[in-house]
Amino acid sequence: MKVLMIAPEPFFEPRGTPISVYQRLRALSALGHKVDLLTYHVGLDVSIPGVRIHRVPDVPFVKSVKIGPSWSKLFLDVLLFCKAIAMLVTNQYDVVHSHEEAAFFSVILATVFRTRHLYDMHSSLPRQLANFCVGNYRPIVKLFERLERWVINTCDAVITVGADLEEYVRAINPEVKQSRIENLAVHTVGATRNHCSVQELVDRLELSNKLPIVYTGSLERYQGLNLLLESAIIVRRHHPEVSFIIVGGESQQIEYWKNEAGKHHLEDCIRFVGTVPPAEALTYLEVAEILVSPRIDGTSVPLKIYSYLHSGKPTVATSLAAHTQVLNEDVALLVSPTQEALAEGILKLIRDPDLRQRLGRQAQRFARKEFDPRDYQAKVAQVYQMLQALPYPLEQSRPLSVPRLVELEHK
């Protein structure tokens, strides 16, 4: 099938949704589909067989796109919409595969150009607004709720990434065709472990006599970095040899959290290394003795959890739905989202090396069984086979693309 995938993201960047988009593209490529990816002008080009990357025109005053809603994102989405129209006019696509808010205008495009629409739902957008302090603007939330319901009630199929979203979609439209496809760990989509770099990283960060506790991911409010800093005060009091390593975040966010760490006099035990390539992030997981996910809000499963599980290292995570959809007490130490509980969970693992090893082994076995790349690809194949089986609009009822007009002129 020929697919127009629309991703309102900086692609590629090593963060949540862009990594998930990359995983979808790799699967579709392996299945033999041809994909035109339409995305922002920001991001690194990656080479995937059968995939062509199309970008909106360069916007000089937009050099980066932060996570969450923004005026620059709204402007870029308008450009995406316009370019998508041009691509649909000049090409014949079997499926419009939309991510996140691109689904709102993809409903219109799929209707006008009479093609199938697959909504790749990484989160509930109205729910996510609360994570970025927009939840108090009720008119905006209500608008997003209506748009989301409209998409779910009109698209041909929905991909969800977790049990919570699956139930949410079913409550809105029990009849919509739906497939749950959990994300993969980063190392299963092209990144490779580089064992020889582990010692180099230990030397560079001066960790030889330290106990490394690693967090990877964005530094947004809902990720619980403030909770982590507060728990670090307690942990260091009992174990001065700990070293908290924070992987990820934008420069402004890093400066903010460095200042917060300074207020708690934690400069000597917390290190912010910024955003790193996926392969290097895996090296940080190898270096870690303990992994942490102190999330305080949201229901979507953090993509890092899958990498945490595959790493074979023990994880301390808050007992929120975002974690408990995947994690249980056999594969992670789940704690209440308070500084005392998080600190106690970390301390428990520090004091019990056997528990650390047992949780790590069980987590790795669980990940290999439940989140196998072959199962992932099979699920993507199933969705597209289902779309292909849907009644296809008659050729004469579809808007004529330029290639189709040329074909008719020669008859």
The pLDDT of residue 194 is above 70: no
Give the pLDDT band (50/70/90) at residue 192.
very low
399/275: higher pLDDT: 275
The pLDDT of residue 57 is above 50: yes
Record the pTM: 0.85
Nearest to 377 by CA among 19, 32, 27, 22: 27
The pLDDT of residue 189 is above 80: no
State the average pLDDT over residues 276-291. 91
The pLDDT of residue 137 is above 80: no
Q: What confidence tens digit (pLDDT) does each residue in 35-49 have?
A: 999 999 999 999 999
pLDDT of residue 199: 87
pLDDT of residue 121: 95
131/22: higher pLDDT: 22
Percent of the chain's residues with pLDDT above 90: 73
pLDDT of residue 401: 52
pLDDT of residue 277: 85
Give the pLDDT band (50/70/90) at residue 68.
confident
* Average pLDDT score over the chain: 90
Give the per-residue SS3 of the chain. Answer: CEEEEECCCCCCCCCHHHHHHHHHHHHHHHCCCEEEEEECCCCCCCCCCCEEEEECCCCCCCCCCCCCCCHHHHHHHHHHHHHHHHHHHHCCCCEEEEECCHHHHHHHHHHHCCCEEEEEECCCHHHHHHHCCCCCCHHHHHHHHHHHHHHHHHCCEEEECCHHHHHHHHHHCCCCEEEECCCCCHHHCCCCCCCHHHHHHHHHCCCCCCEEEEEECCCCHHHCHHHHHHHHHHHHHHCCCEEEEEECCCHHHHHHHHHHHHHCCCCCCEEEEECCCHHHHHHHHHHCCEEEECCCCCCCCCCHHHHHHHHCCCEEEECCHHHHCCCCCCCCEEECCCHHHHHHHHHHHHHCHHHHHHHHHHHHHHHHHHCCHHHHHHHHHHHHHHHHHCCCCCHHHCCCCHHHHHHHHCC
pLDDT of residue 126: 80
The pLDDT of residue 107 is above 50: yes
pLDDT of residue 80: 97
Give the pLDDT band (50/70/90) at residue 58.
very high
Give the pLDDT band (50/70/90) at residue 298.
confident
pLDDT of residue 129: 74
Q: What confidence tens digit (pLDDT) does each residue in 357-388 have?
A: 999 999 999 999 999 999 999 999 999 999 99
Q: What confidence tens digit (pLDDT) does each residue in 220-243 have?
A: 889 999 999 999 999 999 999 999
The pLDDT of residue 255 is above 60: yes
State the average pLDDT over residues 24-42. 97
Pick the CATH number of 190-370 from 3.40.47.10, 3.40.50.2000, 3.40.50.2300, 3.60.10.10: 3.40.50.2000
pLDDT of residue 31: 97
Give the pLDDT band (50/70/90) at residue 131.
low
pLDDT of residue 323: 96
Tokens of 394: 């008659």
The pLDDT of residue 64 is above 90: no
pLDDT of residue 118: 98
pLDDT of residue 344: 98
The residues spanned by each domain of the chain are 2-184+373-409, 190-370
109/400: higher pLDDT: 109
pLDDT of residue 397: 46
Question: What's the fold here for domain 2-184+373-409?
Answer: Rossmann fold (3.40.50)
Q: What confidence tens digit (pLDDT) does each residue in 197-220 have?
A: 788 899 898 898 999 999 999 998
The pLDDT of residue 190 is above 60: no
On the CB side of 54, how many CA atoms lie within 13 Å of its CA? Answer: 18
State the average pLDDT over residues 170-197. 76
Give the pLDDT band (50/70/90) at residue 110.
very high
Q: What confidence tens digit (pLDDT) does each residue in 306-345 have?
A: 999 999 999 999 999 999 999 999 999 999 999 999 999 9
The pLDDT of residue 155 is above 50: yes
pLDDT of residue 170: 95
pLDDT of residue 66: 82
